[in-house]
Amino acid sequence: MADGSTEISVLNHISVALVQERDVSTLLKKVLEILNRELGLLHGTITLRQDDIFFIEASQGLSDIEKSRGKYHLGEGITGMVAQTGKPCVIPDIASEPRFLDRTGARGKAKNIAFVCVPIIHTGSVIGTLSIDRKVEKNTDLERDLRLLETLANIIAEAVSVMVEEYLERDQLLAENRRLKEELTHGRRPANIIGNCSTMQNVYSMIHQVAPSNATVLIRGASGTGKELVARAIQQESPRRDRPFIAVNCAALPDNLIESELFGHEKGAFTGAVSRRIGRAEAADGGTLFLDEIGDLSLPVQVKLLRFIQERTFSRVGSNDELKVDVRLLAATSRDLEKLMAEGKFREDLYYRLNVFPIHLPELRKRRCDIMLLAEFFLEKYSKVYNKTIKRISTPAINMLMSYHWPGNVRELENCIERAVLTATTEAISAYNLPPSLQTAEESGTAALPPKDGRVDFDTLVGSFERELIVEALKSHTGNVTAAAQQLGLSTRVIHYKIKKYGITPDWYRKK
């Protein structure tokens, strides 16, 4: 029985443990050890809440196997009932109580064993339970034991809440880890495409979805956004990856040659046809045919292409023989096909044949978090091409890259970095190495689109500066996030948030 002096001793020892012990798990074990030493327990347990299940976190008198069995749903057994109601419970004799589950299997058929269980409540919610079972003797006062446990539960509630939050955060991290592994397995970035922004992640997801099929894909986006790269990524992830990939730029060929280029011609079919020639469609048999800038086709060619898409059959120019091929058709355009249809310049039936699985590529100005990732990639690429040792881009140059609106998209950025590498005389790309269109944006009319009040996009400039500081710190510490955070005077939580916000990946800071 807990008399007054015993209660004071228990509270004194536990208050000392609370001050001295920083590890919550160890603290909970010490609480049970103190109760065992002062009260003479048979068993003691502290459970923590995880969703709607309460599991034993700390125990006294239980083996590891018995402890692992101690899991209770809300309302299940005495522990579950206390957790559900938030009210304490005293069982004078567990042998005569049908609700007592003995889930751990530690009690067996013992008699004259009492069980006392109280809730651990924090900010009005039950986050755990504290329970003991002890031998009932003549001088045992279970009500006094109950009051003592309630006092202890109130004292340790704050510490228990910290541990519950740690478990919750751990579960969230595990869930995030599973999600990232899932993305690596099913939503990984194609090897030939650079970009981490959310819109590109959606593009990658669509590539993985459609690649294994034979469905026709229409890739849409402004010039320079990488439509052919997406087409090649689809082909590389398809069952036809080892078969031919034939690309045809429909805008580069005149109308009188496009049909011959696509379907081939017989000898003598027209002036200059000195021999039979197979077309691109025939050359792609068993593989993939990519028709770039399909919106530039004339209406007569569109009619013949429609028949080819429907039946996969065609005739060479100058021949009546019908040939059939097995090809996967991919198409791309930077034109507004809906507007062309309204103007009668693009066939509606062809549009619907092509638009089976559309993929829209964002313009570079709409994926600003990828600008520096792409710039670093092109920097490394052209440093090798021109045999230079350029290691980084200066902060002023970064600001200019981030502020520019990139009407030519990724292609313009690549050309810009290539020029900068050629003109650089040090190990860093400086602002003066960039093209005049970036340096005199206001005069050339190529400035980043400002807000309606005409002010500079301050947030973009601040963001690019923050990004550069974080990347430089990570480079200095070989990717050690904690050390980088200390250098910048940030907490690890804040720097992780910034790294995620700006899409900073190891590719950014592992360059030598």
Q: How many CB atoms lie within 10 A of CB 395?
A: 16
Residue 442 has pLDDT above 60, yes or no: no
The share of the chain scoring above pLDDT 90, in percent, equals 31
Q: Is 169 exposed, middle or buried (0-12, 13-18, 19+ CB in 10 A)?
A: exposed
Q: How far apart are CA 512 and CA 505, in angstroms?
A: 15
Give the chain's length. Answer: 512
Mean of pLDDT over the chain: 85
User: Residue 13 corresponds to which amino acid?
Assistant: H
Instruction: Name which residue leads in pLDDT, 455 or 495.
Output: 495
Residue in the block written with tokens 């398809």: 238
Do residues 376 and 224 touch, judged by C-beta distance below 8 A? no
Mean pLDDT computed over 410-428: 92
pLDDT for the residue 449: 46
Instruction: Name which residue leads in pLDDT, 217 or 165.
Output: 217
Where residue 240 falls among pLDDT bands split at 50, 70, 90?
A: very high
Residue 310 DSSP one-character state:
H
Do residues 512 and 391 touch, judged by C-beta distance below 8 A? yes
Q: What does the pLDDT look like over 368-388, one tens digit per residue?
A: 889 999 999 999 999 999 999
Range with the lowest mean pLDDT among 171-175, 269-273, 456-460, 486-490?
456-460
pTM for the predicted model, two decimal places: 0.54
Q: How far apart are CA 87 and CA 126, in angstroms?
A: 10
Q: What does the pLDDT look like over 48-93, one tens digit per residue?
A: 888 888 989 888 888 888 888 888 999 888 999 999 999 999 988 8
| Strands 357-360 and 217-220, bridge-based pairing | parallel
Tokens representing residue 454 in the block: 């005409």
Where residue 3 falls among pLDDT bands split at 50, 70, 90?
A: low
Where residue 443 falls among pLDDT bands split at 50, 70, 90?
A: very low
| Strands 71-73 and 53-60, bridge-based pairing | antiparallel
Mean pLDDT computed over 241-247: 93
Q: How far apart are CA 68 and CA 415, in angstroms?
A: 62
Q: How far apart are CA 371 and CA 406, in angstroms?
A: 10
Cα 100 to chain centroid distance, Å, stands at 45
Tell me how far CA of residue 322 lies from CA of 222, 257, 281, 314, 317, in angstroms: 36, 20, 13, 6, 11
Where residue 508 falls among pLDDT bands split at 50, 70, 90?
A: low
